[in-house]
Structure 1
């Protein structure tokens, strides 16, 4: 599987020039983010057929990681203190997608969250058409009628 973004595209989004060690880290981050994108989407795309938003999300995750690869929440140098939000939690210091990005990738991949209705039936059973409002009777006798589920105007119970 190929990466969804290139190192040059990531360099264009960063505010500084990467040295050789940072380029190695950025290349690994692009691989990790591409793998995560496929995992959340539930599918793999050939490099050229992936939607552009997947490339954008991969670049966002990599930029977020490259800005703070160690996952620091606070840095102090002399009189200056720099703080980052601790919303990353367990993902601090790793390439990650936010909850909104994960949901977007799932939708792009065709995985819709929500309730699903599945028909359940007994093994080797046969469905028989029954009039609305009536419950079918198992192994009906020749003169048996379906059991009414609710009353109606024709046959009140």
Structure 2
């Protein structure tokens, strides 16, 4: 809480302290969702920074306003954050940082797929049959892997 207070430029009253506690809890839960549960005392410094940043962002603008005019009484919200406007949230870049810190890498990978209960044929050597007579066509094959 002291670190969050240090990021804000005003003294928090009793209600704001209660709201700030909830914001820190929400940001911590989101960090665990996007990242992972780190054991107490082993949380990376950047994760703590991102949690404090999200909580401070919420405390500065709890309703998610993007525009406010006192004379005309105009208020505006942005659709940029969608359902997250007016709540504790992480930006896309912050979410990517949390995923990277947790070891979750996005991308494409290949997975071997086979039918249940099938076994590779011995001696096939990774060759597939062809229309003409003779040896088969090598497909990812060597003598160790028949696929």
Q: TM-score range by the shorter chain?
A: 0.7 to 0.9
Q: Does 1:111 align with 2:104?
A: yes
Instruction: Say which SS state the counterpart of residue 69 (structure 2) adopts.
Output: strand
Task: Map 1:38-77 onto structure 2 (within 5 A).
Answer: 38-41=32-35, 43-77=36-70
Alpha-carbon RMSD across the aligned residues, in angstroms, is: 2.8
**Distance change >3 Å, CA 22–CA 37, structure 1 → 2:** same
Partner of 1:78: 71
**Length, aligned pairs only:** 136
**Distance change >3 Å, CA 53–CA 96, structure 1 → 2:** same
Q: Does 1:25 align with 2:22?
A: no
Q: Does 1:98 align with 2:87?
A: no
- How big is each residue's C-alpha offset from its partner over 1:43-63, in whole Å with a ceiling of 9 and x where there is no partner? 201221111100000011011
TM-score by length of 1: 0.74
| Greater relative CO (CA pairs within 8 A, separation 6+) | 1
Unaligned runs of 5+ in 1: 1-6, 137-144, 151-157
For residues 40 and 17 of structure 1, the distance between their equivalents in structure 2, rounded to whole angstroms, comes to 31
**Distance change >3 Å, CA 100–CA 147, structure 1 → 2:** same
For residues 73 and 118 of structure 1, the distance between their equivalents in structure 2, rounded to whole angstroms, comes to 45
Residues 24 and 51 of structure 2 are in contact (CA less than 8 Å); yes or no, is this contact kept in structure 1? yes
**Distance change >3 Å, CA 122–CA 88, structure 1 → 2:** closer
